[in-house]
Structure formats: C-alpha cells, structure tokens
Structure 1
C-alpha cells in the first residue's frame, strides 16, 4: 500500500516555501515524499541524492539550501522536515482507528443542527473502549472529527453537520479515512455534495 503524508494549504502563503526556486521546491516536495516513505526518517544525503536522481554534490547543496530556508531541521535522529512529527501524526494512518470510528458512528443519534466548540487543543482522542460505556456520543464525534481534520476545522465541521446532518458527515469522514484522502476536506465536501445531489428530486421537463 502506498504511503502518504499531509500537505497543508498554508504552504501557499509560507514565504519560506514560496521563495524557493522551482527546482528547490520540487526537491523539497520529493524529500517530503521520501520522509513519508521511510516512516518519518530522512536517509543520509547520499541516499537522498540517489532517490531524487541527483549526484551527491547537488543533493548536498539542495539539503543545505533547505536547511538554510528553515524547511529542514537537525534532530537527534538526523534531518527531518520542519515540524514533521507534529503535522504527520500517527492517527492519519491507523486502520484500527478507522474501524472503531465506523463502529461508533453507527450509534450516533441524528440532530438537526450543532455548533462546534469554540476552542480546543490539538490532541488525538482514541476511539477505544477506554472511553467507557458512558462516553458522550456527541463528544466522541467531535473529538474524532477534529483529531482527524485538525481543531481549526471545528467551525467547518459544524457547517457540514448543519447542512447535511451528522450521519452524512460521519459517513463522509469515515470514507475519507478509509480511502486515505490526500486532501480530506476537499474529499469530504465532494462526498457530501454527491449525497445532496443524489437526494434532490428530479424536475420533470
């Protein structure tokens, strides 16, 4: 199964990225792919060069420029893309988590409208039996959805629930997780749009 990683839309407005030359931008994206492929560990520069089809000197210069730009950082285990561990958290690729989310989602009561909490922290809430039989289903839904999409998407999740109802949102999020969508938000909105169009009555001509 192919590995994947999160690419955030804020890259569009990140001066560190946008000031890169075309070749360095391509090299940076390829290094992100290489890091994801190697489970968060960036290989030595010589191996980077081999993977990116660059000779060792060019690979070394590329890595040096990306370090200077602040897009690669030295860690105890070697070089890593900046903030890699905090942006590529484990729950993104947890098949068991997707299964538990689907099982819990089937038990969610339908409500006409909901409003997302105003604040939250970026924590990953496991959907396991540790939540206990008395766990609030509504809280489980919100914690799980924000853990997958990020706390900043709370208002967007609330908008989806208001427009499409919670069961449809749960189904769309579960599908995005199981399909390992590269852009979960766009994927989920596409699923919701298809669901809405499917239920619209046909107007006779």
Structure 2
C-alpha cells in the first residue's frame, strides 16, 4: 500500500496530560513513531525495530527502550510481536462527507453566535 505524504496532528495534544509531561526525547520519539506509521501505511503498525532504528539513525536497543516507555503511556502498544501506534488508524482515517458537513455547520453556527458573518462584517 502506498504511503501518504502527510498525517494529522491534533491540537488537543497540547493539553493531553500524558503528552504534556513527556521529556523532549519521548516527545520526539512519539512524533517519529507517528511519521513512521504513516509512511509504513499499515493501519498504525510500525516497521521492525531494526528498520526504524536505521531510519532514525539510532541504536536499536535505545529505540526499543523508548518504545517500551511510550508503551507504558499507551502511545504505542505491542500486538503479536509488532509495535503499533495506538488508535492510529481511527485518528488518521478520512472524515466522511457527513462528518465534514457537521463540522462545517458547527463552525458556521459558532461564527453566527459570535456575530461573525460571511461578508466579514458584524451585525451592527
């Protein structure tokens, strides 16, 4: 399966307690796992530790240690001997037309409640 060239990062990560307290090393490793999962394009399954270590230019043992730490936080998990980014497929899937329309209507309703209108002028 061909990989996509982008992935979604959610603003809510800024306020997620388990992410907020991550040391820089694990924050970086988390983002690298997201990128590797997107590149691998197998519903969140990560490539082998050796392959990831080569891509990240690091020692496989150090990477394994980092994955274990991220696993304790539920960011990644080991399933049938493979590392998987938790909830990756669900969070990266495209939105349906119905979901996009609902979000659009919600945004428009909020804009109207704030007094913002299509022409850029307020109601005064």
Q: The TM-score by the shorter chain falls in which range?
A: 0.7 to 0.9
Aligned: 1:68 with 2:72: yes
Aligned to 2:117: 163
Regions of 4+ moved over 4 Å: 151-154
Look at both structures and tell me which one has the larger radius of gyration over its CA atoms: 1
Aligned to 1:6: 8
Provide TM-score, normalisation by structure 2. 0.75
Counterpart selection for 2:30 from 23, 28, 31: 28
Q: Give the unaligned 5+ runs of structure 2.
A: none
Q: Which has the higher contact order (CA 8 A, sep 6+)?
A: 2
Structure 1 pair 12–30 and aligned structure 2 pair: CA distance change class (3 A): same
**What SS does the aligned partner of 2:117 have?**
helix
Counterpart selection for 1:53 from 41, 52, 57: 57
**C-alpha RMSD of matched pairs (Å):** 2.9
Deviation at 1:42, TM superposition (A): 0.6
Structure 1 pair 153–51 and aligned structure 2 pair: CA distance change class (3 A): farther
Deviation at 1:157, TM superposition (A): 4.0
Q: Which has the higher helix share?
A: 1
Structure 1 pair 155–144 and aligned structure 2 pair: CA distance change class (3 A): closer
Deviation at 1:12, TM superposition (A): 0.8
Q: Give the unaligned 5+ runs of structure 1.
A: 93-123, 126-142, 165-195, 201-205
How many pairs were matched up?
Answer: 114
